Amino acid sequence: MSASTTSAPLHAGTLESATAHRFGLLAVVLALTSATAVVGGVLWPEPSGGGETYAYADIADGRELWWGLLTGLAICGILGTMLQAIAALYLVRHRGSTWATIGAALLIIGIIVQGVGAAGWATAYFFPTDPALEPTAGHQAFEAVNDNIGYIFAVMITGAALAILGQIAQAVGLIRAKVVPVWIPVGLMTSILTFLVPGNGLVGLITALPMAVSACALGWYAYRRASAGVVRSWQ
Question: Domain residue spans in the chain?
Answer: 20-228
Q: What is the pLDDT of residue 88?
A: 96
pTM: 0.85
Q: Give the C-alpha separation, 54 to 146, whole Å.
A: 8
Tell me, rounded to whole angstroms, the distance of Cα 158 from its chain centroid: 15
Q: Which residues contact 112 (CB under 8 A, 6 or more apart)?
A: 78, 159
Residue 142 reports pLDDT greater than 90: yes
Whether 56 has a pLDDT exceeding 60, the answer reads: yes
Q: Of 8-17, 51-60, 163-172, 203-212, which one has max mean pLDDT?
A: 163-172
Q: Which one, of 58, 178, 160, lies nearest residue 109 by Cα? A: 160
**From CA 124, how far away is CA 216, in angstroms rounded?**
33
